[in-house]
Structure 1
Amino acid sequence: MRVRRVRLRAAAVLLAGLAALIPAVASAHDGALAESGDLWQALTVWRFDAPGVVLTLALALAYVWGYRRLRANLPAEAVFRFSRWRPAAFATGIALMLLSLVSPIDTYSDDLFWVHMIQHVLILMLIAPLLLLGAPATLALRAASPRVRQTYIVPLLNSRLLQFFLYPPIAVLVLVGAIWIWHIPTLYDAAIDSELLHFIEHSTFLAGGLLFWWLIIGVDASHLRPGHIARIAILIVAILQNLALGLLLTSVGEAAYDSYAMLETLRDWGPSALADQRIGAGIMWVPGTMMFALAVLVIVYYWAEHESFRSRRDDLLRDLDERAGRPVYPQISDRPPHR
């Protein structure tokens, strides 16, 4: 118990120390033009985004604490059922989040539209689903004490607000709305100039991504998760809106964002603002659409597996009924676990 308290205090001190750095780097997005396009500099110019890093590390510490508590308090077979690849998926999501916040990806996202699109693709297409594959809600329910579980976690998961945002049409609307609204030139330029707006933008993308992928691949139980056909339809909508925005940004004859057009006049390296915008649209098209398409293939695979399981199960039960001399029913009412 004493060791646990020491660890918690050390974690709190670490987070407090990082939080103290926030004022020193709060203006990191103000005039962060890189001095040259040298490849070595591009790989070594890192920037500390304090608010995002503090929240990311807090999320990681909470997950580690929950997993350690799960392993300490539950029997080995229960821990085994919480597959080890889930913490690995969550850790990968955390690592990618830190990479997108402090690496040259974040540094050059203010200077180049296509780098900013890489950042957005990471948040929406990789970080959000990887965090969900870590089954954080299931971990919280299993690791928490009965009092904490019944007082805080269960009411939160069953809250009307969360259920509202997890309603499939609302979750899709949040994702699509976040993508389109933050690409409105006025808001986009404002987010480039403001650390606070930039943080809100990325937080909105992460929230929208979490809500969306919860419906599609979330491993935590939810009665709101739609069936296979509905999930495929949702993904098709996501693909179409992604293609539409990419086509819009590609087809315009001039740079849509004044911030990048102005920065083009201040640097002597890199593509023009219009070419930069079209490269970014291509990144939105190809990797973004590929992730949605991959999710469609995964759902089709599990759908086929689901139907194959039902068919084998029904054949087995029918054979057992025939051997026992019982009447054979044409359809079995219960279903296998839904994926």
Structure 2
Amino acid sequence: MDNQIAGAVANSQLYAQKVQADAEISDLARFPSENPNPVVRISAAGTILYANNAADRILAEHGLTVGDTTLEIWQDWVKEVLATEAPKEVKIVYGSRFMSYSLAPVAAADYVNIYGRDITDAKEIERLKDELISNVSHELRTPLTAIKGAAEILLTYQDEDPEMREEFLGIIDKETDRLARLIEDVLDIARLQSGQMQFQLSEVLVPEMIEAAIQSTHSLIIQKDLQVGISLSDDLPIVFSDQDRLVHVVTNFVSNAIKFTPRGGKIQVRSRLTPDPDPDTAVAMVEVSVSDNGVGIEGSEIGKVFNRFQQAGDTLSGRPQGSGLGLHISKEIVEHLGGAIWVESEPGQGSTFFFTVPVGRDSG
């Protein structure tokens, strides 16, 4: 189950990219000189008969040009595909680049056409897919293990102490919610990557949006005996944006603060109309921030906290568990809505996460 959920998301994206890449190869093969990827023709004897501009640059790295005899490994591949009259695909690494070459034999003319394609980005996508499966599988296993353990205890001691039964039912309820949030995060990642996440713009009252986010995390706040302060400026305008997505972002900020704030600590939520409009668009911006008095973040880690699967505080002791998806999703949402997102932090002094969102059509 763990791998199926993550794998289905990643594989659908890879398949779509492969179909597109195959179509590009087919189209560009008809116009080799215009192809930005390398196109080469090599004879059965290993002589380079043709190379377009992209191929010339790669050949030059090996001290070769048209008319020369190609490298021995290529001679072997040419002989193989001419003998079998079957196309072949090979992958080669050039420094930090990954190249895929399709060898198409033309047996009647005794040569092979070779079409190259830079698959460096595809390799990175494949690496991210593997990372997705690995991390999500681990995170799915944690709540599933807790749910299964609590259920087994309830089945074994179902006639025992009612307080014990209530405790383990609470564990099942909490871990089920955790599992649901994780699955929703994975689905959001897939929607964002495929451009299928829907945004519904409407008038948003910032105080109500913040209150909704705090209410959604209320049980977690109570469990850790935390104080939550709210400070809102009097001049907050109505924002024209996506209320549900903004509630999601603030909820992620508050949830993150809860994880890193010690029991009995304090979280502060603030919002204001920024004194200066966005320098690029001249649009008025509303800023929302969430502060905690937790462990803080090392300076070298601040630039990573909005990356997928990156937990703020990775290098600090006592790192809380989590998928590391929430802040990345928040960044994608905020930037899609035309805002900015950042964090300010000092180790041992806590952290403050900020985002801005344009006021929109209600600014005037």
Q: Same fold (TM over 0.5)?
A: no
Larger Rg: 2
In terms of fraction of residues, the more helix-rich structure is 1
In terms of fraction of residues, the more strand-rich structure is 2
Q: Using CA pairs below 8 Å that are at least 6 residues apart, which structure has the higher relative contact order?
A: 1
